[in-house]
Amino acid sequence: MRVLQGIDVADMTRFNPDRRAPLWWGILGLITIESAVVLTFCVSYMYLAAYAEAWPPSGEAPPLLWPSINLALLMTSALTMFLAGQAINRGNQRGLALGVTTSVLLATTVLVLRTLELMAYEFSWKDHAYGSIVWAISVFHYVHVTSIVVGSAVVAILAWRRYFTSQRQIGVVVDTNYWYFVCIAWIPFYLLLFWGPRVYGQ
């Protein structure tokens, strides 16, 4: 059988920072899976709340101030992460490093605040189903913020060492996308955990 030259790919790009890259699709897959997990947690919360006699059992809805500040901080960190990505698109390595570092610091602040909040909870996960689901969702998101902080810290180190360029930046793309996911996931959790009792409590 004759074997003919059909297509020559010798000159095609070996760099795939955007949605051409398998890794971009891979992180999209991870985000899809984790979104299903987030959704399942939300459904579980709503199911338990719908069948509960009182939600929360104490009757007192949780305070709103600090969680709202956390929400604002996380959204800001998503913005600085976005700016970091824009910077490296233009080849600005210093902008990337600064943006990622700022985001890491913002998210670390969130972790500190969340730690204080969790320590101040007046109920334990052992007390009742409300306590269990609130703690489970809180810790679930806390672990995710921790993981983007440590993961992006590594990206920040590489960024300061000028590893990333406008072409070689798939690691940044992956990291920023996952960062957005963790920040956005906080929105449904925030609404459920802090506004939910005001709805179900009625």
Partner 1 sequence: MTIETHAGPRDVIDSPEETAQLERTWHSPGGFIGWFTHVNQRMIGKRFIITAFIFFLLAGILGIVIRLQLAAPEQQLIGPELYNQFFTMHGTVMMFFFAIPVMEGFAIYFVPLMIGTRDMAFPRLNAFGYYVYLIGGIVLFGSLLLSMAPNAGWFNYVPLSGKLYSPGYGVDVWTTMITFIEVSALTAAVELIVTTLRMRAPGMSLNRMPLFVWAALVMSFMIVFAMPAVIVSSTLLILDRLMDTQFFVVAGGGEPLLWQHLFWYFGHPEVYIILVPALGMISTIIITFTRRPIYGYTALVLSVVAIGFVSFGLWVHHMFTTGLPQLGMSFFTAASATIAIPSGVQIFCWIASLWGAKIRFHTPMLWVLGFFAIFVIGGLTGVMVASIPFDTQVHDTFFLVAHFHYVLIGGAVFPLIGATYYWWPKITGRMMSEAAGKWSFWLAFIGFNVTFFPMHQLGLEGMPRRIYTYATEMGWGDLNLLATIGALVLATGFGVTLINAIWSLFRGQQAEPNPWGAPTLEWATDSPPAFYNFRHIPVVASRWPLWDWERDGERAVVTGLRNDRREVVLTSVLDAKPVGVQVLPAPTIWPFVSAVAASIGFVGIIFHPIFFVIAFFLVFFSLVAWFWPRRPWRED
Q: What is the residue whose two structure tokens read 């409590």? A: 201
**Binder among 4, 65, 119, 120 for partner 1 (CB under 8 A):** 4
CA distance 134 to 130: 6
Based on the shown chain and the rule CB under 8 A, indicate whether residue 61 belongs to the binding site for partner 1.
Answer: no
The pattern of x and - marking residues 167 through 196 that bind partner 1 according to CB under 8 A reads -x--x-------------------------
The pattern of x and - marking residues 126 through 165 that bind partner 1 according to CB under 8 A reads xxxxxxxx-xx------x--xx--xx--x---x----x--
Beta strands in 28-173 (DSSP E): none
**Binder among 3, 65, 119, 120 for partner 1 (CB under 8 A):** 3
Based on the shown chain and the rule CB under 8 A, indicate whether residue 26 belongs to the binding site for partner 1.
Answer: yes
Number of CB atoms found within 10 A of residue 158's CB: 17
Between 106 and 133, CB nearer to partner 1: 133
Distance in Å from the first CA to the final CA of the chain: 77
CA distance 157 to 99: 12
CA distance 79 to 101: 13
C-alpha 119: how far from chain center: 22
Based on the shown chain and the rule CB under 8 A, indicate whether residue 166 belongs to the binding site for partner 1.
Answer: no
Based on the shown chain and the rule CB under 8 A, indicate whether residue 21 belongs to the binding site for partner 1.
Answer: yes
* Whether 34 contacts 182, CB under 8 Å: no
Question: Where does this chain bind partner 1 (CB under 8 A)?
Answer: 1-16, 20-23, 25-26, 29-30, 32-34, 36-37, 39-41, 44, 47-48, 51-53, 57, 125-133, 135-136, 143, 146-147, 150-151, 154, 158, 163, 168, 171
